[in-house]
């Protein structure tokens, strides 16, 4: 059986990159797999978060996941911090990972920039991510290609553990969507769209108004050629490639076919605006409805955490026992 674990940080407001690279597939996975969806609030703490904002972003993200189509009756939707097993297995994974391999993680190098004042957790969090996945014996992990390296580490740690302490963990397979795998910042198409970046004009948020979407797409960086074609290997076309990739991902049509219909950037941008708003409008409406009753939302998350705790207990107990720890239960 396919069991899928997916995680997203409440580190800001979810972007179109999150939707195209992840959430869209999460929803479809529910038809074929046993799915667990984790709001990884502990990961968000690797950088400073204002407590009130973190609380608000977490609830907003939970509403958003429900709004895009995650169904809590078919899937397990929960907050990482409400299931203590994650932090516990994370310690064990830190005892399996080496300093050298954590140092090589590009996300640490990017966000940490070698500074000694970054949080220690920014260095160790790939171990927590491995724990998130391994706890549930996930067979498949859908990731945007910014997360490929983390999944590779998870596979290495699980294999090392199994070799040293005996068969305990399932080795998960990565699933990387082809088109639109990485949505780039509209203002700087060499950088990925990222909900924690302060690039307000470069990010399209799933909660943006119609007008905001129109403005951002109109102002998106392109080039001076004014010819619409898709050439992913040409850095000079990065802006247009990005617009075509987004269009392609939302419409399930090849970027080349889309490009063939346009003779200039103006029309491409106005049609893309419409395509994005077709996707976002129903999501926006549903989020507003859900946020009218936060108590219901919180109760729903509690139920999810209870299911997740039951699903992960046995693996944690087995891992501890395999290492020589005396299990409490």
Binding residues are 9-11, 17-18, 132, 144-146, 183, 192-196
> How many residues contact ligand ATP, by CB under 6 A?
20
Is 9 a binding residue for ligand ATP by CB under 6 A? The answer is yes
User: One of 111, 148, 251, 307 is an active-site residue; which one?
Assistant: 111
Applying CB under 6 A, which part among 4-12, 72-80, 283-291, 311-319 lies near ligand ATP? 4-12
Q: Which of 13, 90, 147, 248 binds ligand ATP (CB under 6 A)?
A: 147
Alpha-carbon distance 134 to 319, whole Å? 10
Q: For residues 11 and 207, which CB has a smaller minimum distance to ligand ATP in the complex?
A: 11
Tokens of 313: 């207990």
Is 223 a binding residue for ligand ATP by CB under 6 A? The answer is no
Is 196 a binding residue for ligand ATP by CB under 6 A? The answer is yes
What number of CA atoms fall less than 13 Å from residue 269's CA on the CB side? 18
Applying CB under 6 A, which part among 142-150, 167-175, 233-241, 307-315 lies near ligand ATP? 142-150
Alpha-carbon distance 89 to 129, whole Å? 10
CB of 295 to ligand ATP, least distance (A): 26
The answer to whether 204 touches 216, Cβ cutoff 8 Å, is yes
- Locus of tokens 């992840």: 22
List residues bridging with 36 in a β-sheet. 5, 76
Applying CB under 6 A, which part among 10-18, 28-36, 281-289, 298-306 lies near ligand ATP? 10-18
Residues 6+ apart with CB under 8 A from 51: none
Q: For residues 92 and 140, which CB has a smaller minimum distance to ligand ATP in the complex?
A: 140
Is 15 a binding residue for ligand ATP by CB under 6 A? The answer is yes
Q: Which of 5, 11, 135, 287 binds ligand ATP (CB under 6 A)?
A: 11
Nearest residue to 125 via CA among 160, 159, 161, 149: 149
Applying CB under 6 A, which part among 19-27, 84-92, 130-138, 305-313 lies near ligand ATP? 19-27
Instruction: Describe the strand order of the beta sheet including 34-39 as a list of residue ranges.
Output: 76-79, 34-39, 3-8, 140-142, 173-175
CB of 130 to ligand ATP, least distance (A): 15
Is 304 a binding residue for ligand ATP by CB under 6 A? The answer is no
Q: What residue numbers does the annotated binding site for ATP cover?
A: 9-11, 17-18, 144-146, 183, 192-196
Secondary structure tally for the chain: helices H, strands E: 14, 5
What is the helix (H) or strand (E) element at residue 174, kind and residue range? strand 173-175
The answer to whether 133 touches 172, Cβ cutoff 8 Å, is yes
Residue nearest to ligand ATP (CB): 21
Q: Which of 195, 246, 304, 305 binds ligand ATP (CB under 6 A)?
A: 195
The answer to whether 39 touches 79, Cβ cutoff 8 Å, is yes
Alpha-carbon distance 66 to 288, whole Å? 11
Alpha-carbon distance 148 to 211, whole Å? 34
Which residues are at the interface with ligand ATP (CB under 6 A)?
A: 8-9, 11, 15, 17-18, 20-22, 143-144, 146-147, 182-183, 192-196
Catalytic residue numbers, as ranges:
111, 192, 195
């Amino acid at each position: 059986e396919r069991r899928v674990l997916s995680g997203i940080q409440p580190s800001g407001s979810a972007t179109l990159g999150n939707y195209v690279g992840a959430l869209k597939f999460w929803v479809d996975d529910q038809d074929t797999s046993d799915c667990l969806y984790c709001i990884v609030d502990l990961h968000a703490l690797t950088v400073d978060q204002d407590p009130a904002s973190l609380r608000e972003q977490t609830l907003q993200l939970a509403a958003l996941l429900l709004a895009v189509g995650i169904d809590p009756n078919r899937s397990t939707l929960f907050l990482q911090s409400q299931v203590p097993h994650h932090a516990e297995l994370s310690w064990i994974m830190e005892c399996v990972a080496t300093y050298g391999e954590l140092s090589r993680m590009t996300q640490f190098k990017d966000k940490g920039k070698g500074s000694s004042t970054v949080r220690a957790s920014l260095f160790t969090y790939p171990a927590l991510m491995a724990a998130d996945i391994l706890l549930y014996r996930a067979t498949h992990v859908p990731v945007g290609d910014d997360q490929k390296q983390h999944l590779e580490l998870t596979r290495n740690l699980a294999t090392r553990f199994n070799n040293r302490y005996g068969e305990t963990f399932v080795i998960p397979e990565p699933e990387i969507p082809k088109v639109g795998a990485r949505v780039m910042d509209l203002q700087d198409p060499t950088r990925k769209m990222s909900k924690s970046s302060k690039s307000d004009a470069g990010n399209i948020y799933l909660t943006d108004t119609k007008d905001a979407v129109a403005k951002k797409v109109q102002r998106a960086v392109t080039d001076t050629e004014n010819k619409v074609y898709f050439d992913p290997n040409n850095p000079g076309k990065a802006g247009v490639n990005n617009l075509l990739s987004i269009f392609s991902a939302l419409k399930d049509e090849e970027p080349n076919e889309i490009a063939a219909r346009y003779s200039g950037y103006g029309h491409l941008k106005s049609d893309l605006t419409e395509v994005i708003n077709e996707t976002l409008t129903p999501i926006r409406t549903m989020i507003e409805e859900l946020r009218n009753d936060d108590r219901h939302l919180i109760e729903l998350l509690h139920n999810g955490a209870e299911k997740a705790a039951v699903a992960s207990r046995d693996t944690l107990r087995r891992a501890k026992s395999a290492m020589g720890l005396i299990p409490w239960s």
